[in-house]
Amino acid sequence: MSVGRVHNVEVTLRTSASVSVQTTVITYPQKLLSLARRLIDEDEHAIAIIVVHMACEIATERTLSEAFAAKGVPYLEDPVTDLFSGNNLGNERIRKLYTALTGDQVEQAAFWQKFKQSSKLRNKIAHSSIAVSKQEAEDSLAAAKDLVAHLRK
């Protein structure tokens, strides 16, 4: 199993003395979401929104990579994804590629509109250095968590 596909794994080891050990594996996108939580708590709202979208883009990139392989066309991954400037699933062209490869119509998910709003806010932050509220950061974090969970990353 690749680390990119691990969501939460619990492993139980037993010895003759019946010792039980549990291990939870946290993915990189999940670590970034945890970092964003800390940034919000430290009133770094704009940076937190940038970080949640980094988590989403990494999760999307990993999902696309797996989808190219599952379709039997891994050799097309680099030529196709090089046509895009990132992996923002909020970008309509990337979302259409994702849907074509996975069959998942993510735009119909309950969280999708909040994710799209967060994506637009992220772009405003990156290009205009606007100030954002704690509530906007909380909403972005919630939408990002939903997307990352949807992608099973």
Residue-number span of the structural domain to which 68 is assigned: 28-150
Give residues with Cβ within 8 angstroms of 47, minimum separation 6.
39
pLDDT tens by residue, 60-109 = 999 999 999 999 999 999 999 999 999 999 999 999 999 999 999 999 99
Q: Number of folded domains in the chain? A: 1
Establish if 145 belongs to a structural domain: yes
Q: Which two tokens stand for residue 41?
A: 């708590």
pLDDT at 54 over 80: yes
Establish if 75 belongs to a structural domain: yes
The pTM (predicted TM-score) of the whole model is: 0.83
Establish if 18 belongs to a structural domain: no
Establish if 136 belongs to a structural domain: yes
Establish if 8 belongs to a structural domain: no
- In contact, 52 and 37? CB cutoff 8 Å: no
Establish if 41 belongs to a structural domain: yes
* CATH number reported for the structural domain that contains residue 73 in this entry: 1.20.120
